[in-house]
Amino acid sequence: MTFVAHSPQGGGFLHGKLTSGQVEGTRFAEGTIMSMDARRYDTEKLHEVIHMLDTTLEPHGIPKTGAALRWLAFYSELGPEDAVIFGASKIGLVQQSVAAITQGPLPRNVVGVLDGVWDTLKAK
């Protein structure tokens, strides 16, 4: 069976704008059709994970969105028949996503943290 992974960047949540409170001009801004997404992602648990990812990824210079794509490409259960759909509003964002994946596997400590994110979320 083919599996299609969608929204690997959490509907934009991994960009960190909601956690930092800088939502103006984003899909999470009040009055936008997608502002309902803010309610889904605006939880203490998810903000804790964003801070944990920042602490882990910043020393390596890896953006959260790139780490998510690289984890899917190199460490998930997705196989050669499966696909990842990454959304983008501009061609530059598509290019960034492709460039992230072409950087190859992640550092070992980053993989360990990413592997543990789900355990962190479901434990709370």
Which pLDDT value is given to residue 55?
A: 94
User: 5 pairs with which residues across the strands?
Assistant: 84
Token digits of residue 75: 């460490």
> What tens digit of pLDDT does each residue of 67-96 get?
999 999 999 999 989 988 877 778 988 898
Which pLDDT value is given to residue 9?
A: 63
**The CATH number of the domain where 56 resides is what?**
3.20.20.100
DSSP-derived 3-state class of residue 106: coil
**Sign of the alpha-carbon torsion through 10, 52, 110, 116:** negative
Residue 14 near residue 64, CB atoms below 8 Å: yes
Q: How many domains does the chain have?
A: 1
Q: What mean pLDDT value characterizes the chain?
A: 80
Is the predicted pLDDT of residue 102 greater than 60, yes or no?
yes
Is the predicted pLDDT of residue 1 greater than 60, yes or no?
no
pLDDT band (50, 70, 90) for residue 108: very high
User: What domain range includes position 32?
Assistant: 4-123
